[in-house]
Every structure is written in C-alpha cells, then in structure tokens.
Amino acid sequence: MAKPYILLVDDEIRLVEVLSVALQAHGFEAVVAGSVDEGLKLLDSEPINLVITDLKMPGKDGRHLLHSLRRDRPQLPVIVMTAYASVRDAVDLVKEGAFDYVAKPFEVEDVVATIERALKLTKVETENRRLREEMADRYSFDNLIGSSASFQSVLRQIGEVCATRTTVLLQGESGTGKELVARAIHFNSDRASGPFIAVNCAAIPEGLLESELFGHVKGAFTGAVSGRDGRFRAADGGTIFLDEIGDMPVTTQVKVLRVLQEQSFEPVGSSKTMRVDVRVVAATHKNLQEMIAAGQFREDLFYRLNVYPIHLPPLRERGDDIPILASHFLKLYNDRMGKKIVGLTPAAEKALRTYAWPGNIRELQNCIERAILVCQETSIDLPDLPKYVFEGGNREVFSRLPQDLDAELERLERSFILNALRETQGVQVKAAALLGIAERSLWHRIKKLGIKIERSING
C-alpha cells in the first residue's frame, strides 16, 4: 500500500526538514517547499495527499495557499501551522476550509494524529462521493428504459418533478419499477447529496411501523432498552420513500400527515418535537380512493400525498418495451455471470411479447436471469424460458369478457401463484419475489385460496 504523500510549506526550511524526517519515521512520505510558489509547483508534479503550511510567510502566505487549493483542489486537506500569537487567524482559516491547525512549538505525535484524522476523513468523503456518483449513474434517466408512448409520458413527468420539492405519489402494479423511479427523482434533484431512505410499509409489522418511522425513547414500550432515531430522522436533508403506503395503519397515517404539513413529529414515548427537512415520495399498488371509501385510508393524507401523481403502466401495456428491457437484462446478467449470449430467438421474443407479465418488470428480470443460467447456446430460445411464459392461457383474459369476473380473477390468481410455487419448488420467499409481492402478502393469498404446499404443489 502506497504511503501518503505530505507537502510541507514553510520559509523556515530547517523546521520543516526536521518535521519531514519525523513524518517519514511514522510511515509518511514528505516533500518540502520553502514558499507557496514552490509548493504549488510540487503539487503539479507529486501525488500529494495532504498539505501542511505555515500561516505567516514572506510574500504569499498560508491564507493565499489555502484559498488557491480550495479553488483548484477542494478535496485536498490542508493543515495550518502557526505561532501561538496567530492562533485566532488560524481558527479563521479553519472556518475558510482548512482541516485544522497546529500551534508552534508542537509535538510530532500531535501533528501525526491530526494528519491521520484528516486522511481518514478524506478517505470517507472520497468513498461517499464515489458512492453518490455511482448511485446517480445507476439511477439516471438512462436507466429508466422504454420507448413506448406510455413510458415516455412517465419520463416527462419525472423530469418535471425532479427540480421541485413536491410530494410525489407513484401508483402502479407491483414490479412496475416504482422504487427505481423514486430513486431517479431523488438522485436527479437538489437533494441528491442527501440520504435516500426506503421503507416498505407492508414488510414491517403494524406494531413496529410507527417506531420504525419516527423512532422511540428508552422505555417507550416493552423491549425498548435504548432510544433510537427513526427513518424520518435518518432522511433529514434528503428523501424518504414510503413504499406500499396503502398498507400503513390509520393510526400511523395521522403522524405521517403531520410530517407532511409541519415537517415535525414526536418519537414514540417522547413529548419532544423533532423537526426535519424531508421530501416524501410514496408508492402503492392499491386504489387509495377505494380504501378511503372503505375507511381504510385517510382522505386528508391522500390529498397531501397526491400533489403530483405518476401512474406507472403495467408491462403488458408496454409491448414495444419488452424486447428493449430484455436486452438490458441480458447484458446485465451476461456481465455478472461471464456469459456471451447474444440475444433471443424470434420464438423466444414472441413468447415474451405475448405473455401477460403479472409480475411486470421484476418478473421479466427474473425470467431473463433464469434463462441465462440454463441457456447452453448463443441465443435464448423457448426451452430456456419458464414453461408458463410460452404455454399460453395467461393472456386469454385480455381477449374476452368473463361471465363471472370475481371467479375469473380468483382462477388467474390461483394459476399465477401455483406456477410461481412450482417454479420455485414451493419456496414461498422466492415465489413472492417472482410474483413481485411481499412474502406476507403471498402467505395471505395462499391461505385465502386454500392452496396446500407439500412436496409437490397441489391446488
């Protein structure tokens, strides 16, 4: 591992040469400059990781060097050396961007400790910056894939709302990419440098959701052996994504409404008000207006969330996008698995186009991943796809009207669940992922339909 390079700038050459030797004994490489101009030249020729500069020097001084580095190399940490009489000036330089200062005369151990703190912080900041750039790239508009008119309309809406701080409600079936859109909104907004916190309201037990969102104080309830911050506090300065908000208990909806109205809340068991600056993006696959009529969702919360609604169309309504998405996933899993599959046969592409995709994009992604795993040729063919994709019978509901809609929907639901369970050998976690629903939701559906899960899946 390369040693950190330290640049020492001081007109007292004897002092910095002694410091240079001491730093080298502590595992650093050090180069010495007797003036600011000489130091700037070394910065152009050496891989400098940190600068230590004296404050008072003839001509250009430490302040000049700091301002020059803040302008041209803002990520480079600077430590200022100063005599006791000039400590106040050094403190001002810290406010102007220096990492810290050391007062002369100093102990080498103190300088080393300050250098190590600065390098550690710089490493963390660099990693955070890299991750933010990676996330911004991953959730850029380029990764929202589709050329169909319905999806292009979605992209236009996302572009309109990114530059605002408006609350957004994403509506669409499970697996249509609501979280991907939520992340794209965040990472293309002025909050991109802040946190993005995702909460699946359906995946957290009802009794714990309020504490999960708003935090709690020690002793607030049985098992609360210590206090903790909630997700809203963690999202301060950024965006919170409330997925499946239709599954949120009415009692918790009241507190979410208050956050939207006042940007404040009290943790569970506390009377202390917390203030946050959080943008809310919510999502659901349910019809919230029907839930309002049934008394299951607050009307006032709906109108607060529905400031800017975006409907994500199901994949069956985006036929032209299916080959494009399939090619995207093909490249993704080719790279991950080290395979060189070039595409889909015409028969396989036709099967993908005509299948109903009840699990939407998530199901298509899983389908392509599986096909790449089993494919032994250069192109994915029908035998590489799950049988239910090309066996037919799944799109007939869209070409005729049923005599009994409830019975027909139950039949389809049973068929999709049984197919998913067969595909995953009865493993409910995997079957739920394939269907694009929560495991708890799948369990309730299995119970409702009376499906028995044994070694062989029965109806």
Q: Which helix (H) or strand (E) covers residue 305, if one does? A: helix 299-305
CB-count exposure of residue 266 (10 Å: 0-12, 13-18, 19+)? middle
What stretch(es) of the chain map to CATH 1.10.8.60?
A: 316-400
pLDDT 10s digits, 131-173:
655 555 555 555 688 888 888 899 899 989 988 899 999 999 9
Say if residue 252's pLDDT is above 80.
Answer: yes
pLDDT 10s digits, 23-49:
999 999 999 999 999 999 999 888 999
The predicted structure's pLDDT at residue 454:
62
Question: Could you write out the DSSP letters of every residue in 153-219?
Answer: HHHHHHHHHHTS---EEEE--TTS-HHHHHHHHHHTSTTTTS-EEEEETTTS-HHHHHHHHH-B-TT
What phi and psi values does residue 160 have, to the nearest 5 degrees?
-70, -40
| CA gyration radius, the chain | 30
The predicted structure's pLDDT at residue 398:
43
- Domain 141-313 bears CATH identifier 3.40.50.300: yes
Q: Is 257 left (phi over 0), alpha (psi -120 to 50) or beta?
A: alpha
> Taking the domain 404-459, which CATH number applies?
1.10.10.60
pLDDT 10s digits, 57-96:
888 988 899 999 999 998 899 999 887 657 777 788 888 8
What phi and psi values does residue 342 have, to the nearest 5 degrees?
-90, -20
CB-facing half-sphere around the CA of 5: CA atoms within 13 A: 12
Say if residue 387's pLDDT is above 50.
Answer: yes
The predicted structure's pLDDT at residue 139:
53
What phi and psi values does residue 245 have, to the nearest 5 degrees?
-70, -15
Count of Cβ atoms closer than 10 Å to residue 129 Cβ: 12
Say if residue 218's pLDDT is above 90.
Answer: no
The predicted structure's pLDDT at residue 458:
47
How many whole angstroms from its chain centre is CA 350? 34
> Taking the domain 5-134, which CATH number applies?
3.40.50.2300
Q: CATH assignment of 316-400, given 1.10.8.60, 1.10.3720.10, 1.20.210.10, 3.40.50.1370? A: 1.10.8.60
The predicted structure's pLDDT at residue 253:
95
What stretch(es) of the chain map to CATH 3.40.50.2300?
A: 5-134
What stretch(es) of the chain map to CATH 1.10.10.60?
A: 404-459
Lowest mean pLDDT of 16-20, 81-85, 293-297, 306-310, name the range: 81-85
0.85 exceeded by pTM: no
pLDDT 10s digits, 330-380:
998 998 888 889 999 999 999 999 899 989 999 999 999 999 999 989 999
